[in-house]
Amino acid sequence: MITIIRKELADYFTSIRCLILFLLVFVASAVALYAAQQGMRGANTESGFIFMGLFTVGGTISLYTFIALLVPVIGIALGFDAINNERSTGTLNRILSQPIYRDSVINGKFLAGMITLAIMIFAAMLLVGGYGLRMIGVPPGAEEIIRLFIYFVAVVLYGAFWMGLAVLFSILFRSLAISLLCPLAIWILLGIPVSVFNPYISFIVPAVTDSLGTGLILLRLSPYFLFSEATAALLDPLFKGMGMYTGDTTGMLLYRPLSLDQSLLVVWPQLTSLVCLTIICFAVSYIVFMRQEIRST
């Protein structure tokens, strides 16, 4: 399997696709940095987490928003042709006639994609963090670093879900176009209503939540929503979760940051759900791939 990871990584790093994705991430980081610079002064710094503001300040063009937007695209872009491309070029049956297990092909590709994704996100965060540090001159506290790291893990998990989904479609469909469009359609479908409902994009503690309720349960099936909730809580200590209080009680909430472990408690179910969704995608991929015919024609 390590051989496959090695080869896939080499493929990714020399591909134009990855170059474009890296450029995209780089541009996003630059824009986010600019937004942070503009918004930092007026930002809410009462919580005492100034460094983290670099990632969240700037509203729709903050790194936080960009990452939420880009990660599914990167995940899909890395995974949508994983299997069917090999099948159409005829390399799949050549590999499978070698003494390896079938699942190591999927695993290898998936892990290589994850490594690529992790490098991209890590680079983006370091870029913003590093330049931001020069800009604002406030070093991050230990808690901020831990929060950011957990955020990073959540992002990779989120990317893993989308890549898993894309890999599943690449197993199901022989045509590259279909296996690209299907996960993209799902992404858009899940993304649109959430951004209509979801007031967190602007990163303000929600004022109105009572209209949700049963809708919230449905929303929580969507990885998009799970991710926004999880990362909101991770990056904003003031965020105390959703659905636990109604509009009437919002005013009664204490305006005080949660400690790290409390924040983690808030996001734990969301992270678990994300992992679950990824595992489901993967399980289906395995089963389908194991039973599939491997023909050259």
Partner 1 sequence: MDKKIVLETQDLTKRYDGNTVVDNLNLHVAENEVFGLLGPNGAGKTTTILMLLGLTEPASGSARIFGFNSTREPLKVKRLTGYLPERLGFYEGLTARQNLRFIAWLNNMSDEEAERQIEQVLESVGLTEVADKSVGKFSRGMKQRLGIADVLVKKPKLAILDEPTAGLDPEGINQILDLIAGLPELGTTVVMCSHRLYEVQRICHSIAILAKGKLVVEGALDTLGREALAEGRYRIEVETDEPSPQLIEIIGKISGVKNVEAEGNFLHITTDSDLRAAISKVVVDNDVALIQVKVREFSLDDIYKKYFHEG
- Is 96 a binding residue for partner 1 by CB under 8 A? The answer is yes
- Is 195 a binding residue for partner 1 by CB under 8 A? The answer is no
Question: Could you give the CA distance from residue 11 to residue 18 in angstroms, rounded to a whole number?
Answer: 9
The only residue of 142, 248, 254, 295 in contact with partner 1, by rule CB under 8 A: 295
What is the DSSP track for 160-191?
HHHHHHHHHHHHH-S-HHHHHHHHHHHHHHHH
Question: Could you give the CA distance from residue 262 to residue 264 in angstroms, rounded to a whole number?
Answer: 5
Report how many residues bind partner 1 under the rule CB under 8 A: 25
For residue 235, give the nearest of 8, 49, 32, 39 by alpha carbon. 49
- Is 288 a binding residue for partner 1 by CB under 8 A? The answer is no
Pick the piece of the chain touching partner 1 (CB under 8 A) from 7-15, 68-76, 217-225, 241-249.
7-15
The only residue of 38, 45, 60, 91 in contact with partner 1, by rule CB under 8 A: 91
For residue 277, give the nearest of 215, 230, 211 by alpha carbon. 230
Q: At its nearest, how many Å lie between partner 1 and the CB of residue 211?
A: 52
C-alpha pair distances (Å), 70 with each of 7, 83, 98, 156, 266: 25, 23, 36, 12, 24
- Is 101 a binding residue for partner 1 by CB under 8 A? The answer is yes
Draw the binding track, 12-51, toward partner 1 (x: CB under 8 A; -: no contact). Answer: --x-------------------------------------
- Is 214 a binding residue for partner 1 by CB under 8 A? The answer is no
Residues that bind partner 1 in the complex, under the rule CB under 8 A: 3-4, 6-7, 11, 14, 86, 89-101, 293-297
